[in-house]
Amino acid sequence: MVKVAVVGASGGIGQPLSLLLKLNPYVSELALYDVRLAKGVAQDLSHISTNAECRGYDKEEIGQALKGAQVVLIPAGVPRKPGMTRDDLFKINAGIVRGICSSIAQYCPSARVLVISNPVNSTVPIAAETLKAAGCFSAGNVMGVTTLDVVRAETFLADYLNASKRGGLTRQFDKTRMQKDVTVIGGHSGTTIVPVLLGSSLNAALGAEYGKFVHRVQFGGDEVVKAKEGAGSATLSMALAGYRFAEQVLRSIHRESTDPLPAFVYLPGLENGSAAQKKLKDTVDYFALPITLVDGRAAKVDSTVLDRLSAQEHQLVERAVLELSTSIQKGTGFVVGGSKL
């Protein structure tokens, strides 16, 4: 049985994510922390007739929320307000993630930490460096959640293939069974997101739609912001994606078989990580690749996916690492003041 903490539980992602976790039979204790309203969200969820004990914790109670947590999910952050630059937003969210990770180091240093707060390409290095500075970093424990990119890739690929029926493909693609057809590697924003088709016939089947497919996976978040008329971003699909990843972590803790979902991880600390880095020409320390979970922690990455890239995917990776290395340095520099540990 597992204590799971959600930090940022009252937000647009935090609330539906907490709801989904309340339904998971492996969660014995669900600790909801936020700087506002977490007790209310917890009270609401506590009326649901599942066995997870749900408690809310106020701003000053992060220690109690985190104490004994084996899994911590972090969707905390602030939305961009008018007049705020991207850099202002980065600094605020970076500070929030650093503060939360300092508390994790203090109260649950061996917890699996699932980072959802954006920009993940920078907040994961921030989490890692904060834990390193506190002397409790373990590469397998820190996982940037990129599952929304996978969820979108599965949806859009099925949509395009079912609509096109090209390349002699006559089967109907089931959106719930697309894992064998597509995965997503790289980072978690814009052109750092690289969808990878796993079947050789799929590229031909997509034909001229390939470019549109890639663009929708990379910039799907913008479609949601636009449709919500700027008043919000992807929260429900992100909550589902975060839950899908957390569910695998919980299954792994309970020695159940898991799916090889990608996560944005620190390569040097993981099995096959340095092989992956070599294939990426030693450009980046962090990269999203399918991972194998052991006891709910990233144990190894699947670097073979990098051997099977098409020429177009190869180009996408080359472009991705350029932007990624800047974002990673930005995150690392935020914690260690410009010098790389």
| Binding-site residue positions for substrate | 80, 86, 118, 152
CB of 235 to ligand ADP, least distance (A): 5
**CA–CA gap between residue 65 and residue 68 (Å, rounded):** 8
* Closer by beta carbon to ligand ADP, 72 or else 320: 72
- Residues contributing to the annotated binding site for NAD(+): 8-14, 34, 93, 116-118, 238
- Residue with the CB atom nearest ligand ADP in the bound state: 11
Which residue ranges make up the site for ligand ADP (CB under 6 A)?
A: 7-8, 10-14, 33-36, 75-79, 96, 99-100, 233, 235
Binding residues are 8-14, 34, 80, 86, 93, 116-118, 152, 238
Q: Smallest distance, Å, CB 166 to ligand ADP?
A: 37
* 193-197 and 297-301 strand pairing: unpaired
Q: Write out the DSSP string of 37-105.
A: SHHHHHHHHHTSSSS-EEEEE-GGGHHHHHTT-SEEEE----PPPTT--HHHHHHHHHHHHHHHHHHHH
Which has the closest alpha carbon to 307: 271, 285, 279?
279
* Closer residue to ligand ADP in complex, CB, 13/178: 13
Nearer to ligand ADP by Cβ, of 96 and 321: the residue is: 96
Pick the closer one to ligand ADP by CB: 146 or 277.
Answer: 146
Tokens matching residue 285: 């320390």
Question: C-beta of 117: minimal distance to ligand ADP in Å?
Answer: 7
- Residues carrying an active site annotation: 188
Q: Which is nearer to ligand ADP, 63 or 79 (CB)?
A: 79
Cα-based torsion angle of the residue sequence 191, 196, 197, 203 in order, rounded to the nearest 10 degrees = 40
Min CB(170)–ligand ADP separation in Å: 40
Cite the DSSP H helix spans in the chain.
14-22, 38-46, 62-66, 86-107, 120-133, 147-164, 200-206, 210-227, 236-253, 273-279, 311-336
Residues sharing a CB contact under 8 Å with residue 200, sequence separation 6 or more, in sequence order: none
Instruction: State the minimum distance, in angstroms, from the CB of residue 144 to ligand ADP.
Output: 15
Which of 203, 188, 196 is closest to 149 using CA atoms? 188
For residue 275, the SS3 value is: helix
